[in-house]
Amino acid sequence: MKSARQVLAENLARFMALSADLNSANLLSKKAKVAQTTISNWLRVEEMPSLAPQLSALESVARALGVTVGDLLTEAGQDRDRDEVVRLRVELAASRSRAERVSLQLYELAALLGDDGADGGAAPKRVAFGDPDMASPDDYLLAGGPVHGASDASARRKK
């Protein structure tokens, strides 16, 4: 893992190279109103390892480059990883939602087939869970288990 100063040096050089009018420490220092030696020292982190950047100077340089301080201090490629994680979480949520809908449709279909007598008149098979706390509430209730906190007697009355 790179130090924050190394990440700053790499990102500062990259943003300066991408900028048409701020591609030198001199030009950037004038626009950011920060000493040129400060920017030069940030770029030469190996030669000046003891110099810690001041937050006010970082903010001024970031503003001049049109980026955030976070952009200056975040390793390149990290945003891509975050975007991938967000995309995967969205896909997972959609997949779970679809699985829940399909599961409910299958249960309803099994109940309809049981009522029609298409499978010999037997009621849909109920899944038994050894420990209701291990099952999700939806699955447990679909399996015919009582609502948490309800006694067996109250569950029989509700049926």
Report pLDDT for 2.
81
Report pLDDT for 61.
93
Domain range list for the chain: 4-76, 79-148
Least confident of 26-35, 53-62, 70-79, 135-144: 135-144
101 pLDDT exceeds 90?
A: no
Report pLDDT for 128.
53
pLDDT band at 21 (very low <50, low <70, confident <90, very high): confident
**Which residue has tokens 């950011």?**
32
Arithmetic mean of pLDDT over the chain: 76
Record the pTM: 0.48
- 62 Cα distance to chain centroid: 25
CATH architecture, range 4-76: Orthogonal Bundle (1.10)
